[in-house]
Amino acid sequence: MLSPAFADVRPASAMGVDIALESRESEAVPIHENGWTDPTGRAERVADRDEAAGHFPLTTLGYHCWRELDYLPATRDLLPVALAEHVRAGQRALDVGCHHGAAAVYLASLGLRVLGVDINPRAIEAARQHRPDATSRCRPEFIVADFLRDRVAAAGSIDVVVLNRFLTCLPAVEDWQDALSRALELLTEGGLIYVGDFLLMPACPHNRRRYQLAHANGGRWGNFAVLDDQGRPSFVAHHHSVQELRRMVSPYRVLCFRRFSTRSRHGHASRMFELIGVNERRPV
C-alpha cells in the first residue's frame, strides 16, 4: 500500500514549478539535445545481447544485488551543488546510496554533518579512504546499511536527504515507493530533499528496446537490464517518467527543478533531472 503522503499525484500547477517536462505525445519526438549520436556504434553491437537478456527472469534482480556489485557508474560523479545556496553549516545530511562518497565529501565541505550509507561494503570501504582537503569543515561518516530495511536515523532528525542516482537502482515500484516514504519520514519540518536521477528516453531506439524487453518480462515501464561483459544481466535500472516525477515531488514545495543532458562512458546520451524540495508538513 502506498504511503498516504504519496497516494495522490497533485497537478503541476500546485507545485510552483513546471514539472510537465513533456507530454506523453512529445515522448515520441526525436531527441536533439547535445546532437545525440552513438559514435561508438555500441547500441547496434549489444542488440543481440539485449535480446538474449529477455530470456532471464529480470524481476528477480532486485536492489539486493548491489551488495556485491563492484560497479563503475555509467556517468561521471554529479555533485549536488544546487544545494549550496539552500543549506547552512551544522545541519545534518544523509546521503543515501553514497557509493564512493563523492557527494558526501562535497556536502561536508559546506559544513554539513553528513552520514553516508550504502548497502555495498566495498563502496563504503572506498568512501572511507577519502581524505578531507584543507577547506573541508567537517568529515563525513560512512556506514554499511540497507536504507529500506535498517534504521539509519530517527524520524524527523535529518535536515537534508540526498538521493543521488539512488532511485534508479530500485526497479521494483514497492521499493521505490518505500525509499521516498522513508526519506520523507526522516526529514525535519522545513528539511530538504535532493533527488538527482535519470529520465525516460523512449525516443532513443537503444533505450526503447531495453524498456520493451524488461516490460515483457514483468518489469515496470522504464526498467532495463544492464549487462556484464559476458552479456548476462548484472542488475536492473530504472528511468523515470513525468508521472513518477509528479509523484516524487507531491509532498514537497519545490525550490529547484532542472533537466539536463550528459553522456555515459560509452558515449550514449543520458537525460537527467535534479530537484530540491522542502518538507513543509510532517507526514501522517
Which pLDDT does position 21 carry in this prediction? 40
Report the C-alpha gap between 190 and 253 in whole angstroms: 10
Q: Which residue has the higher pLDDT, 47 or 226?
A: 226
* Lookup: cell for 193: 530533499
Give the chain's largest Cα–Cα span.
52
**Residue from 98, 89, 101, 93 nearest 132 by CA:** 101
Pick the CATH number of 32-278 from 3.10.180.10, 3.40.50.150, 3.30.70.1350, 3.40.50.1220: 3.40.50.150
Residue recorded with cell 536521477: 197
> Percent of the chain, pLDDT > 90?
55
> Percent of the chain, pLDDT > 70?
71
What is the average per-residue pLDDT within 136-161? 94
Q: Confidence band (pLDDT; 50, 70, 90) for 179?
A: very high
Whether residue 87 is predicted with pLDDT greater than 70 in this model: the reply is yes
* Lookup: cell for 61: 534482480
What stretch of H or E contains 30? none
Which pLDDT does position 57 carry in this prediction? 52
Phi-psi region for residue 206, left (φ > 0), alpha (ψ -120 to 50) or beta? alpha
DSSP string, 217-258: TTPPTTEEEEE-TTS-EEEEEE-B-HHHHHHHHTTSEEEEEE
pLDDT in tens, 33-69: 333 333 333 333 333 344 444 445 555 567 888 888 7
DSSP class of residue 65 equals: G
**Residue from 212, 149, 219 nearest 182 by CA:** 149
Q: Confidence band (pLDDT; 50, 70, 90) for 232?
A: confident
* Lookup: cell for 229: 561483459
What is the average per-residue pLDDT within 246-272? 87
**Residue from 89, 257, 276, 282 nearest 186 by CA:** 282
Burial of 101 (0-12, 13-18, 19+ CB in 10 A): buried
Question: Which residues does 89 contact at the CB level (< 8 Å), separation at least 6?
Answer: 110, 111, 112, 137
73: amino acid identity, one letter: P
Residues 19, 245 contacting (CB under 8 angstroms): yes
* Lookup: cell for 26: 512529445
Beta bridge partner(s), residue 199: 240
Instruction: Determine how β-strand 141-144 pairs with β-strand 113-118.
Output: parallel
Which pLDDT does position 78 carry in this prediction? 82
The domain limits of the chain are 32-278
Q: Confidence band (pLDDT; 50, 70, 90) for 148?
A: very high
Residues 196, 107 contacting (CB under 8 angstroms): no
Report the C-alpha gap between 258 and 273 in whole angstroms: 6
- List phi, psi (to 5°) of 239: -110, 145
Report the C-alpha gap between 284 and 271 in whole angstroms: 34
Report the C-alpha gap between 6 and 246 in whole angstroms: 10
